[in-house]
């Protein structure tokens, strides 16, 4: 009896090996891209390390900006330069509009019923159109401007009243989550003590989603080994999904009760989705409860943690470079003054702050490896054969540090985006492949417009409203800037800071009751 599991494992490994060699034999006349040799069965999986984006950056220096990895039985193609990324995401965008199968999408994202991992087609277009019209369009952004301004004012007031160091990332996450929840479901998720899910617990859940979704799970790449869950990843995903599902079920139930009781106007995204569900509208047919929850999951994960972590990186860089912080504060003082907080209408008049934001997106992209795509058909890129069903990974982090494009690529230099700088002509919205923090092509981040505005607005408020001290004798120049890898790029050590108000007291005054 004891030999049976071992025999089964050996048979599984033998089948996987045969499968790999069969796949490797199905080539056309062109060669596959170059790449490092891998281990038997596992391929290059053991080589990735705890920070795969950095490992792949190093590999691109050895094998070129287009190279191949074998992760188990999966052919993985890595793009690590702007011209190569453009070939995939512009020239061959249609062919790379689907996602490869993965355990995160199956066990966390409601089995591909969400927007991020859904197959390219009618259902995906329906979900994206809903978000584009009711959350991310220019009209929706303007209509909900007051929500963001109120939430950021609350953030500034709370920071001004703090007399001890704060965990900036956690505080920012509360602000971003409440701003998004008011736009999507009509009320703030976090209103103080006594919630069923506290702000800290919610941030922990979101970070765990991002961390698990960024794991290279062996079961995704070696057929037949998934059931073993060798890393324990799938078990953690299932447990986390239950917590998130209960949280979303509660939100939807409370929202329906509020609308039915006349306590909430039905103009928010969730109200629109519920109405469409009842009317059976939509290009792909009637929306299901699962699809509604899956979309809310996307919004609350991709729309909160990415925003707060990017602002946290921006503040950390400015604290490390006090002369840049003072330059940004001087610009804000000139435009805004000392008697009020920044408003969104001020943002177009702050070119240096805009440069700070661009430089933050360049050095610290929220998604260092763009979400994977899959080749629907084989194609040729740069003289190499890209096989059907190959997984594409675009190393956004490496592209933005390419010394062929950027002078002093690892230094934080916002001036590069000012007139005369080497990045003055570049934007972050997917057209300039030298810097694509939101991705590019058909599957570019749906919330780019909101994310860019929220990051800029929150950063401007923190820079304008406060000076910043580091606790426990930490020297600014030696602030820990180590990365922690997940689906999003987190700081390994949370930024603990003491905010010191620098505006007139009335600037942080009372906010209206929400």
Structural domains of the chain, with CATH: 3-508 (1.10.630.10)
Helix (H, G, I), strand (E, B) or coil at 68: strand
For the beta carbon of residue 83, count every other beta carbon within 10 angstroms.
14
* Residue 410: HSE in the Cβ half-sphere, 13 Å Cα cutoff: 3
- Contact call for residues 221 and 72 (beta carbons, < 8 A): yes
Choose among 440, 447, 459, 442: nearest CA to 358.
459
pLDDT by 10s per residue, the chain, length 514: 444 544 444 555 555 554 444 444 445 589 999 999 999 999 999 999 999 999 999 999 999 999 999 999 999 999 999 999 999 999 999 999 999 999 999 999 999 999 999 999 999 999 999 999 989 999 999 999 999 999 999 999 999 999 899 999 999 999 999 999 999 888 888 876 445 566 777 878 888 888 888 888 999 998 788 888 989 999 999 999 999 999 899 888 888 888 777 777 667 888 888 888 877 655 656 889 999 999 999 998 888 989 999 999 999 999 999 999 999 999 999 999 999 999 999 999 999 999 999 999 999 999 999 999 999 999 999 999 999 999 999 999 999 999 999 999 999 999 999 999 989 999 999 999 999 999 999 999 999 999 999 999 999 999 999 999 999 889 999 899 999 887 788 899 999 999 999 999 999 986 444 4
| Helix 289-302 with 269-279: angle, nearest 10 deg | 160
Phi, psi of 400 (to 5 degrees): -75, 0
First vs last Cα of the chain: how many Å apart?
A: 65
pTM attached to this predicted model: 0.90
| pLDDT digit string, tens, across residues 228-266 | 898 999 999 999 999 999 989 988 888 888 877 777 766
Phi, psi of 94 (to 5 degrees): -60, -40
Query: Is 445 annotated as a binding-site member?
Result: yes
| pLDDT digit string, tens, across residues 5-63 | 444 445 555 555 544 444 444 455 899 999 999 999 999 999 999 999 999 999 999 99
């Amino acid at each position: 009896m004891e030999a049976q599991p071992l025999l089964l494992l050996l048979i599984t490994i033998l089948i996987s090996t045969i499968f790999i060699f069969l796949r490797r034999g199905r080539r056309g006349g062109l060669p596959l891209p170059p790449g490092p040799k891998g281990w038997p069965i596992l391929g290059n999986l053991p080589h990735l390390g705890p920070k795969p984006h950095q490992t792949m950056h190093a590999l691109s220096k050895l094998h070129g900006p287009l190279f191949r990895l074998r992760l188990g039985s999966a052919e993985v193609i890595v793009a690590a330069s702007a011209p190569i990324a453009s070939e995939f995401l512009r020239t061959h965008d249609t062919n790379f509009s689907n996602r490869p199968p993965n355990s995160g999408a199956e066990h966390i994202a409601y089995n591909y019923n969400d927007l991020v991992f859904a197959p390219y087609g009618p259902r995906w277009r329906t979900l994206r159109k809903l978000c584009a019209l009711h959350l991310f369009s220019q009209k929706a952004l303007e209509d909900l401007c007051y929500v963001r301004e109120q939430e950021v004012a609350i953030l500034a007031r709370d920071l001004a009243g703090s007399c001890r160091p704060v965990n900036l990332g956690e505080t920012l996450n509360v602000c971003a989550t409440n701003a998004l929840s008011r736009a999507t479901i009509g009320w703030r998720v976090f209103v103080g003590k006594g919630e069923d899910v506290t702000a800290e617990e919610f941030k922990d859940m979101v970070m765990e989603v991002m961390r698990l979704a960024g794991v290279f799970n062996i079961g995704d790449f070696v057929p037949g080994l998934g059931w073993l869950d060798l890393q324990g990843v799938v078990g953690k995903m299932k447990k986390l999904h239950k917590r998130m599902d209960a949280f979303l079920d509660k939100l939807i139930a409370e929202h329906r009760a509020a609308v039915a009781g006349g306590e909430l106007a039905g103009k928010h995204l969730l109200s629109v989705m519920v109405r469409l569900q009842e009317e059976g509208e939509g290009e792909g047919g009637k929306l299901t409860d699962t699809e509604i929850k899956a979309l809310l999951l996307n919004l609350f994960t991709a729309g909160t943690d990415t925003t707060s972590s990017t602002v946290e990186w921006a503040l950390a860089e400015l604290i490390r470079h006090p002369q840049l912080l003072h330059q940004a504060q001087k610009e804000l003082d000139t435009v805004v003054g000392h008697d009020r907080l920044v408003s969104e209408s001020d943002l177009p008049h702050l070119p240096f702050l805009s440069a700070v934001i661009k430089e933050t997106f360049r050095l610290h992209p929220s998604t260092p490896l763009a979400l994977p795509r899959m080749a629907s058909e084989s194609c040729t890129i740069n003289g190499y054969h890209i096989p059907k069903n190959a997984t594409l990974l675009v190393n956004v982090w490496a592209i933005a540090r390419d010394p062929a494009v950027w002078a002093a690529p690892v230094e934080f230099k916002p001036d590069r985006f000012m007139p005369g700088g080497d990045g003055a002509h570049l934007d972050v919205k997917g057209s300039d492949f030298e810097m694509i923090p939101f991705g590019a092509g058909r599957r570019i981040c749906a919330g780019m417009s909101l994310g860019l505005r929220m990051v800029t607005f929150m950063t401007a408020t923190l820079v304008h409203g406060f000076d910043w001290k580091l606790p426990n004798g930490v020297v600014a120049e030696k602030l820990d800037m180590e990365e922690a890898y997940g689906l999003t790029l987190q700081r390994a050590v949370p930024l603990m800071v003491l905010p010191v108000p620098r505006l007139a007291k009335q600037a942080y005054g009372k906010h209206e009751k929400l």
